[in-house]
Amino acid sequence: MSAVKLISSICAAGFAIATSAIAASANSLDALDLFETHQIVALGEHHGMTADDEWILGLLMDPRFIEGVDTVSIEFGAGTHQDTIDRYIRGETVSDEELQTMWSDGTHGPMGVSYSPFYETLAARIRAINLSERQDNPIGVILGDPGVDWEADPLAPAWMEGMRGRDAYWGRATLEATRNGDRILMIGGFGHFGRPDRAGMMAASEAQGYAAVVPLGPDGMMACGLDELWADEEYGAIVDVTERPEGQMDAGACFPGSMTFRNGQVAPAYEGVALVDLNALYVWLGNPENFPEGETFPPPTDPDLAARMQGRADQLGVQALPH
């Protein structure tokens, strides 16, 4: 089975794409081949890690994706602006202001994470595919954030309600697409696809098969020793730990930065959980020493919008991501 690695760069005039085919090891899977047996394939990502972003964006240029995936369901983007993304990916004219508002009106708008160029590039790439190769059957995009009425008073309760309902909203929106028989690629932070899973498993309740692929960050990879165990795997290989000894590792060490509320206190989210019980499929993205973290959260280009988002962060008492 082959894995395809595509390294893509964005230039002012459009997309410059270089591809190279790499043979994967016999023990690994390929992400897009999972669609042969699963209606939903969920890809986790570390927000801000360029290696994750490049791998996922590369998959979008694979002929199997272009020909076979019907819908991409993403964590960010306010569902209240679903009509904006629908028009955009169909190739209609959509203003920069409309696109910025689509990202900024989500629950994470004040923190800036939804401004990641990864999501903007992903939407632009799907638009390009629809215009060039999928005009008759365009790939759809689902915005997975419920959005917030930022003019509501009081604002903080509305924001908290949106934050609590994010996974349920994303799951329900994706579920509707499964009922149409769509083959769906879900993309979002890896925490949304851990076990027990909310967004992914809700969407999978009526799907014909569901598979989640989770990346490991460089710190966790080295803490677990997986960088040495998987050194012979090829870039982009999917490793199934179900029957492998490392599946019994403590996932807490592999995800050292993941925290949760437990007994009223912040505690490591996966301490004492076997790696296989967190997730079965993991992606190998090469030597952790080469994992770059990108500057993926730039400020909005509109200074009035940037000031408005900072004001929302101040009102909520949260810290906007530094730009």
> Residue range 51-75: average pLDDT?
95
Identify the residue with better confidence: 290 or 5: 290
Return all residues near 156 (Cβ < 8 A) that are at least 6 apart: 315, 316, 317
- Any idea where the domains of the chain sit in the sequence? 2-316
The pLDDT, as a whole number, for residue 48 is 85
Three-state secondary structure string covering 130-143: HHHCCCCCCCEEEE
Residue 107: which pLDDT band, with cuts at 50, 70 and 90? very high
Residue 14: which pLDDT band, with cuts at 50, 70 and 90? very low
Q: Residue 181 corresponds to which amino acid?
A: G
**Pairwise CA distance, residues 245 & 104, whole Å:** 43
Report the CATH fold assignment for 2-316. Rossmann fold (3.40.50)
The pLDDT, as a whole number, for residue 1 is 30
**CB atoms near residue 252 (< 10 Å):** 20
Residue 170 contacts residue 75 (beta carbons within 8 Å)? yes
**Pairwise CA distance, residues 117 & 101, whole Å:** 15
Give the closest residue to 282 by CA, choosing from 320, 223, 237.
237
The pLDDT, as a whole number, for residue 87 is 98
Residue 236 contacts residue 285 (beta carbons within 8 Å)? yes
